[in-house]
Structure 1
Amino acid sequence: MESPAFPITPLLPAIGESLAAHPRLVLEAPPGAGKTTQVPLALLDAPWLEGRKIVMLEPRRVAARSAATFMARQRGEEAGATVGYRIRFENKVSARTRIEVVTEGILTRMIQDDPLLEGVGALLFDEFHERHLAADLGLALALDVQAQLREDLRLVAMSATLDGERLARFLDAPRLSSQGRAHPVEVAHFPARRDESLEAQARRAVEQALARHPGDVLVFLPGQREIARLGAALDAAALPAGVEVLALHGDLPVEQQSRVLQPAPDGRRRVVLATNVAESSVTLPGVRVVIDSGLAREPRFDPSSGFSRLDAVAISQASADQRAGRAGRVAEGWAWRLWPESQRLEAQRRAEIGQVELAGLALELAAWGSDALRFVDPPPPGALAAARELLQRLGALSDAGGVTARGRRMLALGTHPRLAAMLLAARDPREQALAADVAALVEARDPLRSRSDALAERWRALAAFRGGRMPADASRPALAAIDAAARQWRGRLRCEAGPPAQVEAHALGDLLAHAFPDRIAARHPADPLRYQLANGRAARLFEDSALRGEPWLVASELRQPPRGDALLLRAAPLDEARLRADFADRFAEHEGAVWDADKRALVARRQTRFDRIVLDSRPAGRVDPAQAADALTEAVRELGLEALPWSEGLRQWQARVASLRAWMPELGLPEVTDAALLATLDDWLRPAFAGKTRLDALAEDALGQALKSLLEWDARQRLDRLAPARIAVPSGMERRVDYALDPQGLPRPPVLAVKLQELFGLADTPRIADGRVPLLLHLLSPGGKPLQVTADLRSFWDRTYPEVRKEMKGRYPKHPWPDDPWSATATHRAKPRGT
């Protein structure tokens, strides 16, 4: 197959020359430039490669398979010859393979199993801007290998929209940029009607796009649920004859994915409903119109609750630009955005390492034997501490933090530590087969349309599907996908037993407890819907729960509302005898001080517990002061940080640290969000309770000292210099700077509220954080009323001040309103002295 010309082709020699002279490279290339498929092929004969293998990482299975297949065809071969790929549950490589395209988690296993990476000469990190956790870990491990063992190993970070300058600084690497191949794309915002759902708005947009513009239509939606809804709406709509509606997401069978990625053989128009798998690394031929919901479903983690969830979140501006660019690959195109034009997006996608559960990362670090890896963005200490606590519960880490033999077996399974622990806990082949079913059910989307909270109902639907019966409220494609995944897990476990046709009610929970030991729950003695969790928190069943009355449960899904108990969304009952046999060391007698929520005081109790579940409690005399600090810390863990004597000044300090951490990540400041503080109470708060037996004995100044102990002395000095609480203004006075965080914990623009007269003579907006961040000026009248909000003082003096002066001069005649504010004397008084 003759290679077509790509925009990146003229840059290929420079890429090879750069890697010959320097072991690292940052390559920026827009969508359509050809970096994914042309760079690996161009490097195959590089002298420095010495005939070794190139491994390229792709963030998604669809992209990995597509890229490898395209490169193989360019060489006139099938995938698995010179070019192959490895993804989860699928392997197309051979002894001849020299370019291996893998998904991100595969590389971690390769490095852990062979730190020398023998036979590998270069690692290419494609679409690094997506900042998946596995890619960040893979790069950190690769940098350690390069620094300690393999100076000749080449590392290339590639992307269309990454922050290349920052990454090049971090890697100490050259930076090359390629031109793209893009036709003009006209971007417009397609307004929603009042109370209109996303699917209804998207359907109208598709109908109008097909009527107004040529070519295929690509619709970006957050997930499979939205794809199914819009697909059903379009099936019911009056689309032009011959238009075909197709879905594209990572869980589709390979044949369906391949069909979408190839041109329609009969030339018919297509509407492709895709998740963000279509955002990068794959090419959809014929697309001329992109309809973008502006949403993606991404994992989010709350360290204060320990619960993970997939949330539909707004995409970044870089992702929006990349999505729009898909409309301009073959000719001029159109991009319609389904969010208001006034909505502002973040510039870049936030790194996944700061937003997800980190148990897998913590286990990889323990297995590597070092925490001193260089991450582009370091993992948040609060989330990392919570992950290590979970791993100790799972038996993957010792009390000293080292990886155990069980932990290494869990790593070898290549899945989340929770599921790995469950798969290893099966006692015999029959239980192994059931564990494979449970793993497949936990990982999959819900196969039932009903709201039942019983995991057993999902398993019974799966068993019925295998027996040729189809439950009325179940999805056949979903059950087929779960059955296939369970079969793959049985193969991974080398389990020769077939899946059971029926099991006892508690069998699922007995296995699931090994995946979620922190979510084992005992029924409250006075409330049949309320349960106490092993992690010390509480949860509730729905009123119509199928699990009502069960003495023991284990939850696979929980939802933590802003206040109150968690909601048990999906769970399975447990057999207490099996629980006592499998977790004998978790049942213990304990005597000491505990927090009594009703009395709001410490009391001495003798308790029988399973983890933090109190099974029996009796009075035990007086409170031991030596145990009081532990108990008071646990009380704050239960009540929340609001139980502490916060002041406005301390909240401002917290916002200053969090803001500066975001603005200048190179400073390495600790995470101080409420979630992170709750996760690290033992480190900073427990010492402050020494000698105290009451919660209200902790004063505001003591809380302040405890919080500020999180920063070393030099970090405190940098905080005061780079994110000051007050700054001097031209009038000679110091004025307060207000800091605040948005609901996602990101810093809002810092605000300086100051009377306009105090800034006379100042040309430019004051900046903090070493000049990186302008203050948002709230300019006030002499009476302290708001006049203008601006981040561009120079523009205000030039354009707005004359109008303000005209209006205010009569209202405040005793205050200066000079014609020329540039040369006037700043003052906080009614008149400058001497006038």
Structure 2
Amino acid sequence: MADLPVTSALPALRDAIAARGMAVLQAPPGAGKTTLVPLDLLASGLVAGRILLLEPRRLAARAAAERMAETLGEKVGQTVGYRIRGEARVSAATRIEVVTEGILTRMIQSDPGLEGTGLVIFDEFHERSLHADLGLALCLEVRGALRPDLLLLVMSATLDAAPVAALMGAAPMVTSEGRAYPVETRWLPRPPDASLRLEAVTAAAIRAALGETEGGILVFLPGEGEIRRTINLLGDLPGCTIRPLFGAMDFTAQRAALAPAVDRKIVLATAIAETSLTLPDIRVVIDAGHARRARFDPASGMSRLVTERVTKAEAEQRRGRAGRVAAGICYRLWSRGEEGGLAPFPPAEIEVADLAPLALDLAEWGSADLPFLTAPREGPLAEARALLTGLGALDDAGRITPHGKALARLPLHPRLGHMLTLAGPKAAPLAALLAERDPLRAAPPDLALRLKAVDRPGPEAHMPTIQRIRDEARRLAAGMAKSGYPDFSPAQMAALAYPDRIGLRRKGDAPRWVLSGGKGAVIAPGTPLATARLIVATDLDGDPREATIRQAAALTEAEVREVFADRITWVEVCEWSRREARVLARRQERFGALVLDDRPWPDAPPDRIARAELDGLRLLGLPWTPAARRLRARAALARSDDWPEVSDAALLASADGWLLAHLAGRRSAADLAALDLTEPLKALLGWDRLAILDRLVPASFTTPLGRAVPIDYDGDAPAIEVRLQEMFGVTTHPLIGAARQPLRITLLSPARAPVQVTTDLPRFWATSYADVRKDMRGAYPRHPWPEDPTVAEPTLKAKPRGT
């Protein structure tokens, strides 16, 4: 192994760690970093204490420990050991301990000083798992506050090392160029037929590669289902040994996939084979172009695996597997033209995952102000904290509770840990079931059917999944006290995990429910749960308005009351009903958004009724009468900085102060429609402003004859209509408002037909009046049409007939 490519970088790496205590190593897959670097640093004498090597997967952790132990000529558990979930092979002599990433978080939470640990190595950091990001952030905090002697090393195959080095305080970067043989890339000539399943396209590619190439074949598929279906399509291939490889397999089967084969070996693997693992004799890679990643699924309230297109970085990583031992060939099951549409890199898990476990870890640590390479987003983090508060894991101030500390120590999502802690080992099968993929994918959405299948599986059950559920249930139950728990039903247990997903059937024949968290849910008619009054939904689709139920259990009201007695309360509700267009006053027994009992509240206080009526007014809008609208328009014209704003939005926003008292006795939309806003508006303005209003923006214009003409304020300018003869002698145009806006005057003929519209009366007298006079004298000879209207007497009278 001494001739592995990383060997040449080891002296520089030792020097960097000796000088700075931290370093970032970039080395491509196959360079030997996982095996050689820990052994070299152990032998160098630089590390006082044990070395922790973090691996993203259990298979990689076991395999790395076995290879290093084999190199030393020892058994695993001596100098080199490993610790993964549910299994540990270490001893007092162990100096290099390979652990999965979540183990490190628990070690630091239990012992913030990492007593006895001299070096922490983060392998395959480019995968950017949530545990790796948190682990590095915690280690940097520990090193800065408690352990300045703690050595840190980040190793990556494809990650841009500069940001990581900067996060680590300008840590030295060491690069191993690696050694790879040339790899020829072959794309599909065109996109595959959309009617063909991925497995069929992949099986055809494997058969073609067998005839065109030599050496072992590594096939990348997104998951176990696709792997098994492809193997079935291949059948028996003479001279070939076909091996599956995925994370849920038992280690014996995984080891068989890694071992050399007598015949030509074909390994069908998930992304588990992209890095960390050594597969001998592989010279051909077939990349189906998809990956399965963890994504937070609001439908289930936890992270789920989703299938997505591979990214360019992942495709290149997979391609490199064909050039480890000799020149190779990579078949990409997409066309060359599709390559440009691939994303450059997969997102960091912290950007897309459920943050409830992270929020719990941060609360236990006592601070969220950690040096993350990518900071968690505030919105999802706030939602996660709200969930934890609802589960009793955090108090109202966001501090972790004793119950939260108990949840943090369980290898489960906080929802499921909460259920297991309160219901005991009897809940272990359900916790394991809800944490796994559905073992009855085509069955009706009744959770009871799944639990029955775990106990007594039928032919429709997926046995590998059933076995994983059983194994995990045994592990979970083994660490718990055997008695002292309530005798909850499975539905009650599920409700503990999903207190926000308890559904109460809506009125009507359709199988629709309102959930305790406030959302809606629906199920296909005719399914076994369609008639249930109360359910708990453990899996929903992603519809944000009314989700379809994919998995649920029926509940009785007595079961809900038994579990959530302390959260069921009587509430006095006085609110505006959109449907009935009136105020409804009720006393309601509620659990979250569910109304378990509903009674009239006949003696609701008048102020509560008025506030509910005000909510209705905000929905319906202000009922403007002509008088109130005119007053509002006048106030807008007169407004200065110290005047209240009188737009609809502003008036509704401040209605608590000026309108609430005027709503007494009103309870319906009809009552609101009859409301006259004139007096409330006057009260809002006050007497001093009303006096200014009458002076600056009067309700009417007084003509020279003393007649009051109402001013119309509804248009874009205040306006009046007046007989032309009534304005004789007016030589100054009337102005309105604080801005002294000209009044728009429509001058009328004696028959009250518009003659002229003006905002400058003196100019009209001096210019257009002469033409108007010429026309009007003939049409109305008995009315005065003086040559100089500015000195004429105003009048509304005509000459007597015959004069």
Assess same fold via TM > 0.5: yes
Q: Tell me if 1:224 matches 2:221.
A: no
Q: How does 1:245-324 map to 2 (within 5 A)?
A: 245-264=242-261, 267-301=262-296, 308-324=303-319
With over 3 angstroms needed to count, the CA separation of the structure-2 counterparts of 1:242 and 1:518, relative to structure 1, is same
Report the residue type matching 1:35 in the other structure.
Answer: K
- Tell me, what secondary structure is at the counterpart of 1:331? coil
Runs of at least 5 residues in structure 1 that lack an aligned partner in the other structure = 427-431, 466-470, 498-502, 636-686, 694-835
Q: How does 1:350-499 map to 2 (within 5 A)?
A: 350-426=347-423, 432-465=424-457, 471-493=458-480, 495=482
What is the rounded CA distance, in whole Å, between the counterparts of 2:184 and 2:226 in structure 1?
A: 25
What is the rounded CA distance, in whole Å, between the counterparts of 1:253 and 1:403 in structure 2?
A: 36
Q: For each residue in 1:38-79, what CA deviation from the matched residue of structure 2 results, as whole angstroms up to 9, or x when unmatched?
A: 1111111344422x0110111111111111110010001111
Q: CA deviation at 1:113?
A: 0.1
Name 2:683's counterpart in structure 1: none
Q: CA deviation at 1:352?
A: 0.7
Q: CA deviation at 1:626?
A: 11
Q: For each residue in 1:386-435, what CA deviation from the matched residue of structure 2 results, as whole angstroms up to 9, or x when unmatched?
A: 10111111111111111111111111113211111111112xxxxx3431
Name 1:6's counterpart in structure 2: 4
What is the rounded CA distance, in whole Å, between the counterparts of 2:614 and 2:153 in structure 1?
A: 49
Q: Tell me if 1:582 matches 2:563.
A: yes
TM (normalized to structure 1)?
A: 0.70
Query: Residue 129 of structure 1 contacts residue 349 of structure 1 at CA under 8 Å; is this kept in 2?
Result: no
Q: Tell me if 1:346 matches 2:343.
A: yes
Q: CA deviation at 1:18?
A: 0.4
Report the residue type matching 1:490 in the other structure.
Answer: A
Name 2:209's counterpart in structure 1: 209
What is the rounded CA distance, in whole Å, between the counterparts of 2:651 and 2:372 in structure 1?
A: 32
Q: Identity of paired residues, percent? A: 46
Q: For each residue in 1:742-801, what CA deviation from the matched residue of structure 2 results, as whole angstroms up to 9, or x when unmatched?
A: xxxxxxxxxxxxxxxxxxxxxxxxxxxxxxxxxxxxxxxxxxxxxxxxxxxxxxxxxxxx
Report the residue type matching 1:197 in the other structure.
Answer: R
With over 3 angstroms needed to count, the CA separation of the structure-2 counterparts of 1:197 and 1:303, relative to structure 1, is closer
Q: CA deviation at 1:519?
A: 1.3
Name 1:665's counterpart in structure 2: none
TM (normalized to structure 2)?
A: 0.72
Query: Residue 602 of structure 1 contacts residue 623 of structure 1 at CA under 8 Å; is this kept in 2?
Result: no
Q: How does 1:658-737 map to 2 (within 5 A)?
A: 691=654
What is the rounded CA distance, in whole Å, between the counterparts of 2:232 and 2:380 in structure 1?
A: 40
Two-structure CA RMSD over aligned residues (Å): 2.9
Q: CA deviation at 1:219?
A: 1.3
Name 1:195's counterpart in structure 2: 195
Query: Residue 604 of structure 1 contacts residue 623 of structure 1 at CA under 8 Å; is this kept in 2?
Result: no
Report the residue type matching 1:615 in the other structure.
Answer: L
Name 1:127's counterpart in structure 2: 124
Q: CA deviation at 1:312?
A: 0.7
Query: Residue 81 of structure 2 contacts residue 98 of structure 2 at CA under 8 Å; is this kept in 1?
Result: yes
Report the residue type matching 2:470 in the other structure.
Answer: D
Q: Tell me if 1:509 matches 2:491.
A: yes
Q: CA deviation at 1:539?
A: 0.8
Report the residue type matching 1:397 in the other structure.
Answer: L
With over 3 angstroms needed to count, the CA separation of the structure-2 counterparts of 1:257 and 1:21, relative to structure 1, is same
With over 3 angstroms needed to count, the CA separation of the structure-2 counterparts of 1:182 and 1:544, relative to structure 1, is farther
With over 3 angstroms needed to count, the CA separation of the structure-2 counterparts of 1:306 and 1:10, relative to structure 1, is same
Q: Which has the larger radius of gyration?
A: 2
Query: Residue 392 of structure 1 contacts residue 398 of structure 1 at CA under 8 Å; is this kept in 2?
Result: yes
Name 2:507's counterpart in structure 1: 525
Q: CA deviation at 1:11?
A: 1.0
Name 1:672's counterpart in structure 2: none
Query: Residue 625 of structure 1 contacts residue 691 of structure 1 at CA under 8 Å; is this kept in 2?
Result: no
What is the rounded CA distance, in whole Å, between the counterparts of 2:396 and 2:454 in structure 1?
A: 39
Query: Residue 303 of structure 1 contacts residue 383 of structure 1 at CA under 8 Å; is this kept in 2?
Result: no
Q: Tell me if 1:108 matches 2:105.
A: yes
Q: CA deviation at 1:496?
A: 9.1
Query: Residue 575 of structure 2 contacts residue 609 of structure 2 at CA under 8 Å; is this kept in 1?
Result: no
In the alignment, which of 528, 531, 540 is matched to residue 558 of structure 1? Answer: 540
With over 3 angstroms needed to count, the CA separation of the structure-2 counterparts of 1:610 and 1:157, relative to structure 1, is same
Q: For each residue in 1:550-575, what CA deviation from the matched residue of structure 2 results, as whole angstroms up to 9, or x when unmatched?
A: 222222211113x6411111112224
Q: CA deviation at 1:473?
A: 1.4
With over 3 angstroms needed to count, the CA separation of the structure-2 counterparts of 1:194 and 1:352, relative to structure 1, is closer
Q: For each residue in 1:220-254, what CA deviation from the matched residue of structure 2 results, as whole angstroms up to 9, or x when unmatched?
A: 1111121122122122xxx6412222211111011
Query: Residue 50 of structure 2 contacts residue 117 of structure 2 at CA under 8 Å; is this kept in 1?
Result: yes
Structure 1 window deviating more from structure 2 (110-119 vs 528-537): it is: 528-537
Query: Residue 306 of structure 1 contacts residue 386 of structure 1 at CA under 8 Å; is this kept in 2?
Result: no
With over 3 angstroms needed to count, the CA separation of the structure-2 counterparts of 1:44 and 1:628, relative to structure 1, is farther
What is the rounded CA distance, in whole Å, between the counterparts of 1:452 and 1:280 in structure 2?
A: 39
- Tell me, what secondary structure is at the counterpart of 1:8? helix
Q: Tell me if 1:540 matches 2:527.
A: no
Q: For each residue in 1:673-696, what CA deviation from the matched residue of structure 2 results, as whole angstroms up to 9, or x when unmatched?
A: xxxxxxxxxxxxxx9996579xxx
With over 3 angstroms needed to count, the CA separation of the structure-2 counterparts of 1:625 and 1:252, relative to structure 1, is farther
- Tell me, what secondary structure is at the counterpart of 2:43? coil
Name 2:89's counterpart in structure 1: 92
Q: For each residue in 1:628-650, what CA deviation from the matched residue of structure 2 results, as whole angstroms up to 9, or x when unmatched?
A: 89999xx9xxxxxxxxxxxxxxx
What is the rounded CA distance, in whole Å, between the counterparts of 1:325 and 1:339 in structure 2?
A: 17
Query: Residue 629 of structure 1 contacts residue 689 of structure 1 at CA under 8 Å; is this kept in 2?
Result: no
What is the rounded CA distance, in whole Å, between the counterparts of 1:97 and 1:569 in structure 2?
A: 47
Structure 1 window deviating more from structure 2 (5-14 vs 432-441): it is: 432-441
- Tell me, what secondary structure is at the counterpart of 1:225? helix
What is the rounded CA distance, in whole Å, between the counterparts of 2:610 and 2:6 in structure 1?
A: 68
Query: Residue 28 of structure 1 contacts residue 161 of structure 1 at CA under 8 Å; is this kept in 2?
Result: yes
Name 1:241's counterpart in structure 2: 238
Query: Residue 300 of structure 2 contacts residue 540 of structure 2 at CA under 8 Å; is this kept in 1?
Result: no
Name 2:596's counterpart in structure 1: 615
Q: For each residue in 1:142-197, what CA deviation from the matched residue of structure 2 results, as whole angstroms up to 9, or x when unmatched?
A: 11111111111111111100011222222221111102121111112124135222
Q: CA deviation at 1:603?
A: 6.5
Q: CA deviation at 1:303?
A: 6.1
Name 1:750's counterpart in structure 2: none
Q: CA deviation at 1:598?
A: 4.2
Name 1:42's counterpart in structure 2: 40
What is the rounded CA distance, in whole Å, between the counterparts of 1:627 and 1:300 in structure 2?
A: 43
Structure 1 window deviating more from structure 2 (593-602 vs 366-375): it is: 593-602
Query: Residue 300 of structure 2 contacts residue 538 of structure 2 at CA under 8 Å; is this kept in 1?
Result: no
What is the rounded CA distance, in whole Å, between the counterparts of 1:352 and 1:617 in structure 2?
A: 45
Name 1:16's counterpart in structure 2: 14
Query: Residue 388 of structure 2 contacts residue 394 of structure 2 at CA under 8 Å; is this kept in 1?
Result: yes
Query: Residue 248 of structure 1 contacts residue 257 of structure 1 at CA under 8 Å; is this kept in 2?
Result: yes
- Tell me, what secondary structure is at the counterpart of 2:361? helix
With over 3 angstroms needed to count, the CA separation of the structure-2 counterparts of 1:16 and 1:307, relative to structure 1, is closer
Runs of at least 5 residues in structure 2 that lack an aligned partner in the other structure = 620-649, 657-803
Q: Tell me if 1:55 matches 2:68.
A: no
In the alignment, which of 15, 23, 33 is matched to residue 25 of structure 1? Answer: 23
Report the residue type matching 1:530 in the other structure.
Answer: R
Report the residue type matching 1:5 in the other structure.
Answer: D
Instruction: Tell me how many residue pairs correspond in the alignment.
Output: 615
What is the rounded CA distance, in whole Å, between the counterparts of 1:381 and 1:105 in structure 2?
A: 23
- Tell me, what secondary structure is at the counterpart of 1:300? strand
- Tell me, what secondary structure is at the counterpart of 2:5? coil
With over 3 angstroms needed to count, the CA separation of the structure-2 counterparts of 1:263 and 1:630, relative to structure 1, is farther
